[in-house]
Structure 1
């Protein structure tokens, strides 16, 4: 995993989703057809792209965010914490005929969540829109994207990164049907356990093994340059060059896992953009992700430069 630190400043461009999160507290998740009473609700900024950009910016990163909102107060809320974190929002676009993306998140007493997403303006991305970011891509040390915008836009972004020689981090979450060349352009491809198996099945046409290490090896054998598999409280697996290693996660009391994976990705992106090794960046990312689960919400839970991370 070789960093392309062309500017020397660790400049990151995040192209992806931005939502308002409607978070519902529940004692437990309801069964199909069941109605239960909630314990409370709140609205806060979210979306995988915005979350990852916010996590990197709060840690002191030089971050530009390209995302799409609708008009009105939801757009202001969706971008509020990115703005306060110091992210460059000049590439954030308001689409008047669309609604701002919405995520309905239920969080149970153990901190586990389930999420339903309405794409809204996030679904309006086209390859032509991505082409307008060519200059921003070329100026960046690392470009980050995810699976919450259309696959055609992610494919075009991967091609643009290849054309400009810019390193591309793809967090294939959720798993969407991107081109094989998009997967093989990723350096790294970041997935969780289930996403990794789906990605491997897509590449090989065969059922993926029910084993994390074997899945990571399979992704490398299928042509992925480098792989990071996140595994929640069990840490992460890194596959870099010929080496596959594990990173542990600090033991913490979890109150809300919402956005913790995005905190990991944002911190990982920051380290890689600054030229750190995958191991160094990954170890810090695991600590940032662990910090995030000890607080409620996605972006509101992310640490700043002054916060002490768990060991």
Structure 2
């Protein structure tokens, strides 16, 4: 067995979110409605936005704890073992008494674009009571990260606890939601949507960094302290508190699979914030990590280690 590279870890990140087993099919292109395509590869790999972001933060330099729920099935055992192999604290990772582990059905085309269908399964068992039960874990964090693959009331409870405890909060509003409750935005220090999610939340179509600037401004007006819109190969647009916004170009790479690019960016960004790095440096670090991830296949298997970014 190949040993994992050693990472010196500083700062603590708690990821409250989803864990899925990813069922990944590769095909020449994404199918049209009603169409059957012949694919050319299949893989079953650990995933879920929460799990991916936790693994990314751990590999990229943070001490990480995972707050979520898996099923009492082989997929759940595999996901738990995978996190533990990354030295992620799983004390707050519950096991559902009734629901199977969540799964994601993913199609990746030859142009590295993907389409994903998620079945929540045990992720739906994460509740505000779950969050309250583990408030001491949140109190020990430097950075708390959430997404939208667990029930909304649990996400809000996590953000509210983070705000009450004076922690840095990150919300990745994915999958794309048509709206977020107005009282969520003031609970978020860093709102990090991709271009589709930012367009859905702001009502502004995004094709260029200037479009992202307008969408970010609209989202910050709703109360988020900072908005970072990830734009794939176009980089990111960051509208930070007290600033006018900045477009940061992405490193140039040949993309193979973009499945975990956003999760890798968020994990790297969170890890750097937890280490005490400046926000601008954390953004660049996250971009470098994501750029390396898209040159590899799979979700968690594609996420790099810190030594690969800093060497």
C-alpha deviation, 1:246, in angstroms: 1.5
- 1:235 maps to 235
Give the deviation of 1:113 after TM superposition. Answer: 0.7
Match of 2:19 in 1: 18
SS, match of residue 58 in structure 2 = helix
Distance 1:9 1:306 in 2: 14
Q: State the SS of the aligned residue for 1:191.
A: coil
Any idea what the Cα deviations from partners look like across 1:266-307, whole Å, max 9, x if unmatched?
001111112212110000101111111000001000111332
Give 1:9 shift.
4.6
Question: Residue 149 of structure 1: SS of its match in structure 2?
Answer: coil
Classify 1:237/1:214 alpha carbon distance in 2 versus 1 (closer, same or farther; 3 Å): same
Counterpart CA distance in 2 for 1:293 and 1:278 is 23
**Residues 1:93 and 2:89 aligned together:** no
**Match of 2:6?**
none
1:189-209: per-residue Cα shift (whole Å, max 9, x none)?
A: 111112112223xxxxxx436
Match of 1:56 in 2: 57
Number of paired residues?
297
Match of 2:294 in 1: 293
Q: How far did residue 308 of structure 1 move?
A: 4.4
1:69-88 alignment to 2 at 5 Å? Answer: 69-88=70-89
Give the distance between the partners of 1:148 and 1:309, measured in 2 at CA: 31
Q: Which moved more, 1:133-142 or 1:299-308?
A: 299-308
Q: Secondary structure at the match of 1:307?
A: helix
Q: CA deviation at 1:181?
A: 2.1
Distance 1:96 1:39 in 2: 36
Runs of 4 or more above 4 Å deviation: none
1: CA distance between counterparts of 2:64 and 2:89? 6
Match of 2:5 in 1: none
- Tell me the equivalent position of 1:208: 204
Q: CA deviation at 1:223?
A: 2.1
Unaligned runs of 5+ in 2: 1-8
Aligned residue for 2:200? 198
Q: Which residue of 1 aligns with 2:184?
A: 182
Identify the residue that residue 221 of structure 1 maps to in structure 2. Answer: 221
Change (3 A) 1:80 1:113: farther
**Displacement of 1:111:** 1.0
**Cα distance in 1 for residues equivalent to 2:119 and 2:176:** 16
Deviation at 1:94, TM superposition (A): 0.8
The 2-side partners of 1:273 and 1:232 are apart by 24
**1:70-126 Cα distance to aligned partner (Å, 9 max, x none):** 012111222343222111111111113110000010011111111000000001111
TM-superposed CA distance for 1:175, in Å, is: 3.2
CA 309–111 in structure 1, closer or farther in 2 if over 3 Å, else same = farther
Question: What RMSD over aligned residues (CA atoms) do the two structures have, in Å?
Answer: 1.7
Give unmatched runs, 5+ long, in structure 1: 1-7, 201-206
**Within-5 A mapping of 1:21-60:** 21-60=22-61
Matching residue of 1:153: 154
Instruction: Single out whichever of 219-228 and 92-101 deviates more from structure 2.
Output: 219-228
Contact 1:81-1:299 at 8 Å conserved across structures: no
Using the alignment, how far apart are the partners of 2:272 and 2:159 within structure 1? 20
